[in-house]
Amino acid sequence: MQTEKRHINSVSRKAIFFAGFFSFFFFHSLFSQNEANKADSIISQVLKHRELYGNYIQSYEAKAYIKGISTIKKKNVLLRYAPHFLYLDRKGKNNFTEAFVHIHFHAPNLFTHQIEAINGNSLNVRDIQNRVMQFLNVNIYNPTLFNEQILLPGINDIYKYYRFEYIAATDTLGHRIHQIEIIPLMNSQKLISGYLHVIDNRWTIFSFDISGRLELTDFRIQTEFGIPDNDFLLPQKTEVTFETNLLGNKVVNHYFSSFRYTSVSKRTGNDRQLSGYDLSDYFSIGNDTLPIVRDSTFWNERRPVPLSEDEAALQNSVVQTKTSFFDKSWNFYRELATPLHFNYRNTQFNYSGFLNPLKLSYSKNNGFTYRQKLRLIKQYGNGEELQFNPDAGYLFRTKEIYFSAPLQWIFQPRKFGEVYFNFGNRNQAYNSTIIEEIKQMVRDSINFEYLNKLNYYHHFYLETKLKYEIINGLSIHGGINWDWYIPVKSGGKVPSPFRSTENKDVEEKIELVSETYKAFSPEIKISWTPEQYYRINGKKKEYIGSRYPTFSLDYARGIRGIGGSDSNYERIESDVQQKISFGLMNSFQYYAGMGFFTNAKSIYFADFKNFHNHNFPQSWGDPIGGVFHLLDGRWYNSSDFYAQAHFMYESPLILLKLFKGNIQDIFTERFYFSQLYTPILPSYTEIGFGTGNFIINAGIFVSLNRGKFQSFGTKITFELGI
């Protein structure tokens, strides 16, 4: 009896335990679900009010005080070689900087900064200009942040990228404030994590604390807004922290800013509306005037918050010292391996670095290449510019050097008025004699090794052009081209690559040429984009985009007898291209074009402007038009007609989000499809996939000849520097 009783009690205890466990699990799940639903409903309310609050303020004037300290946590000898864009002190010293900045805001997204006074290390001055200002211009109601680097999508898309958890609620100044955690669904530099504090019933953001990654740096932003009606959308104070961990070095840059508003105007029904295609008032503009003030009394009287002991010690240690000859020499040798950037008055200088390993790139077609770039820009007060942008590179596989030295004078920046000169060389070329023979031969029997010994020429060019915008979106380009073709080899005879159709065992002999050909060809080009939107940035006009494609038509005429010219022909090329953006950070681009030579009354060279070999791998940010990654460069000059089409789809999160590894530093993914037709290569196809970030990009490509697999290749480029 007692055994049965014990058994019943045991069963009862188990039943009670399992009932309690399942009850706890059920109510906990129900509570968690309710909390999740609560968080989602609050976020939905915030997004519903986004348009109202994001455009509530028409304009404001503010004084911002910024102070920042840069602290070296860990360092080693590699710190001395850190590139400029990392904002690291190569001597391993801590630094302090403070500044007063006048901020003018005009809706929806125009920020103008005027630095009125600044004091501190030059490194931190650049950091304030290039990074801190960008993070202060945060409109949390926009779908993207930080120059479209971070995604904060709308109500229909946000749950594809984030989930939200309800944390708690507090009472502040008579308002109920909800704390919501932001949790990204994948690791990506496009997404953030952190917390939002939302005011109940008003559904405005009282403060946010968000973290993410930008390039090689982890960032954290803490911003608090006002609650009273007159400043409930205006930031009151912001703290920005950048933490960089690189090759055993750790540096933390922390900045504090407070704001004092001198005027605020709200949007009314009579506010200026978007007019025409000029979007000048709808984009950020910065000002980099640097009045350095060393007077301690000035700062002591004006600081809205006192300095900490560490900040005061560093501030007192800011001393202007002369640079020794040894330091100058060391800097010179160090700059050989790193990109060099500096501004002097109205002159900008950029150099890729003579021994910079990041200028080494690889592609299957050309192998390893090493490139050097120089950018020198002289600016004038009326917006005119003189630019000198030479570059040169070496192809290790073919042991060839390619170069160009363009000089550009922008004389009317608001009408794209410019004069352009350039001298350089292009890929070696065949003349029209070989092209006609290639047309008559069996395509599969082409032997480029033999062709290299025949009418094969070094190609040098000199070109001058004039460009001007007639009306918005319609530009005309006129110019003159001089081309020199110098034989690679001359004299003697070599076996013909074209076997006799009557006796395949007998090879003919072809005599090498020794003539140097010259070509003089005036050229005119018209480019048109309907409904072209633009902005005036400073005194320069910049195109932004259009919902229509860009059309162009290019005509050149070779004229015999001028400057020793041997050529008499016509070259005609046309193309159409467009970038279509949809969703958040997704885009589809296409480019289609064709060209041909006609009325040829002499030997000519099939050098098309829009269909040519790219001797150096291009970055993903360059235009895709005319780029075949695996096509042998000798095909470009082997036909007097071509038709090509290129398509590209880009998105930050496509395939790699399926993998569980850390893909936070992967910034974009792209799918490529390209098609080519020429009479001797009637169906050439390339399919590719690429991914990367602002440092390195890599891609894989497959080529098909008439639908059959031909080759497989890769492409690797570095983005750092110029």
Cα–Cα nearest to 355, from 376, 370, 374: 370
Q: Could you say which architecture CATH assigns to the domain 346-718?
A: Beta Barrel (2.40)
| pLDDT for the residue 214 | 77
C-alpha 626/C-alpha 595 separation (Å) is 12
Q: Would you report the helix, strand and coil content of the chain in percent, each value rounded to 5?
A: 20, 45, 35
Location of structure tokens 């102070």: 67
- Amino acid occupying residue 372: Q
| 232 pLDDT more than 90 | no
What is the per-residue pLDDT for 300? 86
Poorest-confidence range of 79-93, 367-381, 570-584? 79-93
Q: Comparing 165-179, 403-417, 449-463, 594-608, which segment has the lowest mean pLDDT? A: 449-463
* pLDDT at residue 56 in the model: 74
Confidence of residue 291 (pLDDT cuts 50, 70, 90): confident
Lowest pLDDT segment from 110-119, 127-136, 415-424, 486-495: 486-495
- CB-based contacts of 494-502 (< 8 A; 24+ apart in sequence): 494/450, 494/453, 494/454, 495/450, 496/450, 497/445, 497/446, 497/447, 497/449, 497/450, 497/451, 497/454, 498/437, 498/440, 498/441, 498/445, 499/445
Mean pLDDT of 613-639: 75
Taking 50 as the threshold, does the pLDDT of residue 287 lie above it? no
C-alpha span between 573 and 525 (Å, rounded): 9
| Pairwise pLDDT comparison (125 vs 372), residue with the higher score | 372
| Interval 457-464 mean pLDDT | 90
Residues 6+ apart with CB under 8 A from 358: 718, 720, 721
Mean pLDDT lowest among 9-23, 228-242, 640-654: 9-23
The sign of the torsion formed by the CA atoms of 156, 158, 161, 165 equals negative
Predicted confidence (pLDDT) per residue in 385-410, tens digit:
999 999 999 999 888 899 999 999 99
Cis before 108 (ω within 30)? yes
Confirm if 206 and 233 have CB atoms less than 8 A apart.
no
Lowest mean pLDDT among 46-60, 142-156, 536-550, 687-701: 142-156
Query: Best-predicted range by mean pLDDT among 140-144, 306-310, 449-453, 593-597?
Result: 593-597
Closest to 98 (Cα-Cα) out of 312, 251, 261, 344: 312
Question: Which one is predicted more confidently, 296 or 84?
Answer: 296
Q: Quote the pLDDT of residue 384.
A: 92
| Cα–chain center distance at 580 | 17
How high is the pLDDT of residue 319? Answer: 46
The per-residue pLDDT for 536 is 80
Residue 554: per-residue pLDDT: 97
Q: What would the pLDDT profile of 122-145 be if each residue is shown by its tens digit? A: 556 667 766 777 666 655 666 555
With pLDDT > 90 as the criterion, what percentage of the chain qualifies?
Answer: 25
Q: What's the average model confidence in pLDDT over 570-588?
A: 86
User: Does the pLDDT of residue 627 top 60, yes or no?
Assistant: yes
Q: What is the pLDDT of residue 421?
A: 97
pLDDT score of 683 more than 90: yes
- Of residues 268 and 528, more confidence is placed in 528
List, in sequence order, every beta strand (DSSP E) within 90-234.
95-106, 110-120, 144-145, 150-151, 162-172, 175-184, 193-199, 205-214, 217-225
Q: What is the mean pLDDT of residues 562-568?
A: 86
Higher-pLDDT residue of 363 and 509 is 363
What pLDDT does 417 receive? 95
Rounded CA separation 81/89 (Å) = 10
Assign 88 a pLDDT band (cuts: 50, 70, 90): low
| Mean pLDDT value of segment 541-564 | 91
- Alpha-carbon gap, residue 558 to 597, rounded angstroms: 10
Average pLDDT over residues 645-659: 78
User: Across all residues in the chain, what is the average pLDDT?
Assistant: 77
Tokens of 660: 């569980």
Range of lowest pLDDT (120-124, 208-212, 446-450) = 446-450
Q: Kindly report, residue by residue over 468-485, the tens digit of the pLDDT.
A: 999 999 999 999 999 998
- Given a contact cutoff of 8 angstroms between Cβ atoms, the answer to whether 708 and 701 are in contact is no
Q: List the chain domain ranges.
A: 47-267+274-316, 346-718
Please check the confidence at residue 424 and state whether its pLDDT lies above 90: yes
